Chains A and B, each alone.
Chain A
């Protein structure tokens, strides 16, 4: 069962090159190396361009989920300002995942591209009024997010991209554990 060939060995589209550059270096935009150029105009500008690299489509799907997770965390922080401390590392983490994935997707820049707002649910799940319930709901959301992330990791063609997705999923697992512990503590305090 050989691993899928690396992106660099395939006939890569501009989008694929963008994914490779971002994933290999962690760099975006301005500091990208000249040899790993971003998406070409033919990819971004024309619907008749070469077929999109499957890893770019995957990155776009993961980006949408990262944005949704971040939005859920932010909604909870708005409703429960006292939880901002415990939510800080998760928000920073998902925000950075959004930043990295946005740079890998040709149309992924900007706070909320049209495609993202179309696919995002209009009414995100309501934030529970009790802090312990809100934390438990977030823990469940992070757990599902981690599971989806591992599924995407297995679907990735590039091993380097798979590693990044597995790491992002592991970060979500850590957040789920932190939030579960905080939910239990909060429930004890209010009992």
Chain B
């Protein structure tokens, strides 16, 4: 299967000397649902900007479905749909105008563009607002409008830069479902997000970028399998001090909340059996943090080390 995206030795040095990318390599397979994660200022948006030609690269190459952006930029662009982080549509134009004009930039005739606009506005629950100006929409609606706009030319690859930022959880979940359906239809999706739960739920492969360097590039399962310890939080009967459990580290957070560190090789059953033996009832249990979040924090820490070494 062809690669949807091939990035090789990509560097970006901004005016003033700030190096945003230090020669990254990245491959995204066709049909993939790919997460590009990293802290603020890591280089995610610069990478996306270069792929979509909004940022000029300093060195390296980018191929979109085999088309080099240096040699066949227009061809490469025709495969891409972009949902940027910032709202970047004309605030005074109506939703229909925004969508139909955008389709026109890709050579879609107006009658077909109107059909597609209706389809995507209905799918994204914006049809009732079709004649409203963009500025009249709520934040969540604006995000959905940008997704509809990116789909108007039916791209083979969709790049979403923080698509669910500031969106409430109910809407976020409906957007996840919509993106999953698009991916099932064969559209390659690249997603950057701050919600690591989002990446874990949606994406099959993942790259983590930090300080302009890719510190991890693997599939989600392999990455999560690297996590050798999780912390579970138990809501328990009132106790005054943390119980000592064989082979487990415990911490009493308050008189009803106990944290227990569980290694990958250990069974949670043993926690419960030991607590039962001590007559401590457990009312509920949850993970202290998202699994990916724990890995992310540890990897980004090592990324900083890489950065320091490369200076």
User: Do A and B interact?
Assistant: no
